[in-house]
Homo-oligomer: A and B are copies of this chain.
Amino acid sequence: MTATLQTETPTAARRTSRIPVAVLGATGSVGQRFVQLLEHHPWFRLHEVIASERSAGKAYGEAADWRLDTLMPRDAAALQVKPLGVHLDSRLVFSGLDSSIAGEAEELYAGHGAVVVSNSKNHRMDADVPLLLPEINADHLAAIEHQRQRRGGDGYIITNSNCSTMGLALAIAPIEKIWGIEQLHVTTMQAVSGAGYNGVASYAILDNVIPYISGEEEKIEIEPRKILGAWRDGRFELAPMRISAQTNRVPTIDGHMMTISLSTRSRNTLNLEQVREALDNFRGEPQELGLPSAPRKPIHYIDAPDRPQPRLDRDREHGMSVSVGRLRPCPLLDLRMVALVHNTIRGAAGAALLNAELLEAKGLL
């Protein structure tokens, strides 16, 4: 792999001085995950935390109501929170902003030359913004050049997908690549952390299922088509598959489950054993480049008849792998299967981190 070799030396060199980064929306649920995952990151160093006016000026340790099950990193606790809009020292900016303000704020920083790696939904479907999933569409980074020309500067935005989309897109990528997907039904059972710390009241979800998540079905029906589509002639072409998504909130902490039924464009050649192998053997550029957050295997196929399960499988490879199981025929379409993604790691902050690592490995920072 030439690409790997080329990046090895500068990467190693940079480890001696980690790249300073900023986190927008650092006190929120995605922001806290960024802060957590950056603590021991070999390439990046948390340098700035940005949050709302209310938190600005306070130490991060005071401003953030820390909710994760590891201790807040000491260095982070000592940082002074900056308000949104101020000049940032860091060129690399992670955004965990709420979508009500992310659109404008991310555009602002990109306009001032920052590389904005966003988890927010606002720019995902923009015509020149990559909806990056490094195992699948690293070539979409070519769109960056179009952004630069549009803005007339070096800054740009890249995004990762919705949390459920991430699990779905990864789980079906090997099938799409080999057989081509035509139709797909997916029903999700999503954990409460997907709505942020205060997003789902316990009174609403204990002993209950809520069959509705605002805006979620629309995202799942379109985002995988951009991710699995092509960047051709200066624009994104959506993959031709059609998707029907039904989304539910269930009383789990972390880990979005989904049942999938799909048909391919080459029905007669489909063999489930081959599909199983295609899933389990799937690798992408993050694995070839050895990116720090890349899982060894992006997809773990589990043979047990009752897996994956959120509590038992969400943390595989530090939450960066998608787990798939129950591959079997479908009476209506070509196959059925179950997939699981850790929604706040691979489905959010971990995905953004991996995206940024790809940028660094490609010399785009």
Which A residues contact B (CB, under 8 angstroms)? 29, 67-69, 183-185, 187, 189, 192-193, 196-212, 221, 242-244, 246, 248, 250-253, 257, 259, 261, 305-313, 315, 325-326, 330-333, 336, 338
Contact = CB atoms under 8 A, between A and B. Distances in A.
Nearest to A221: B331
A47 to B, nearest CB: 27
Contact of A309 (B68, B210, B242, B306): B210
A192 B200 CA distance: 13
Contacts of A313: 69
Contacts of A68: 312
A211 B248 contact: no
9 contacts: A69-B315, A193-B203, A198-B198, A208-B310, A209-B250, A210-B309, A243-B332, A244-B332, A246-B261
Number of copies of this chain in the oligomer? 4
A202 B308 CA distance: 17
B253 A203 contact: yes
A310 B244 contact: no
B200 A201 contact: yes
Nearest to A313: B69
Nearest to A311: B208
A243 B196 CA distance: 36
Contacts of A250: 189, 209, 250-251
A330 B187 CA distance: 13
Given A203-B198, A211-B326, A69 B311 contact: yes
Given A244-B331, A251-B250, A206 B202 contact: yes
Contacts of A253: 203, 206-207, 311
A243 B67 contact: no
Nearest to A247: B259
Contacts of A331: 221, 242-244
Nearest to A182: B332
A315 to B, nearest CB: 6
A261 B244 contact: yes
B336 A244 contact: yes
A358 B198 CA distance: 40
A332 B185 contact: yes
Question: Max chain B CB contacts within 10 Å: which of A196, A253, A332?
Answer: A332
Contacts of A184: 332
Given A197-B201, A200-B202, A242-B332, A306 B248 contact: no
